[in-house]
Amino acid sequence: MRILGLDPGIRCTGYGLITIDRREPSLEDYGIITPPPDVSMGERLSVLYDDLAKLIGTNKPDEFAIETTFYGINVKSALILGQAKGVALLCAARHGLPTAEYAPRKVKLATTGNGQARKEQVQFMVQRILGMDHIPQPMDASDALAVAICHHQQRTLLNADLSTEVQGG
């Protein structure tokens, strides 16, 4: 199972790809997509779509997980982030990927055990969970890895619940 996690943004979109083998996540790839800042919004969104499509085509993930927009930011910022998220969701759908969305608080809770953890705590736990010898940078990429880890944990919990229901009758 390969999971592509995404932390969408219009200036910088983080991505993280993990592989699940015997229920254990391992690192495959991570990085950022950065559209040129001096082009129109439409061109930035087009670059995001094209680069994400290339990433999906090359890495062939089985599932896609994305962080939802944080509502504590101002309306203009939320709308801009929503455009980047929409392009990412469209790209995943066009590639036939099952998609899940997770709130930032849920991602933090899944990786650190604390829904109000600081970004540095998330980075540290992503490093530990994936057995990396360094802190994943930049933060957008680390956040995307955390989204993928959160998705893996949610899938594991769901499968355990379904197994219990089937056994329990």
Residue of 43, 51, 133, 140 marked catalytic: 140
Confirm whether 120 is a catalytic residue: no
Are residues 2 and 59 in contact, defined by beta-carbon separation less than 8 angstroms? yes
Q: How many CB atoms lie within 10 A of CB 20?
A: 18
> Counting Cβ atoms within 10 Å, is residue 167 exposed (0-12), middle (13-18) or buried (19+)?
exposed
Confirm whether 7 is a catalytic residue: yes
Residue type for 76, please? K
Q: 48: which residues sit within 8 A by CB, 6+ positions away?
A: 10, 13, 33, 35, 84, 87, 88
Residue of 7, 28, 38, 51 marked catalytic: 7
Residue of 67, 101, 161, 165 marked catalytic: 67
Confirm whether 161 is a catalytic residue: no
Among all residues, which ones are annotated catalytic? 7, 67, 140
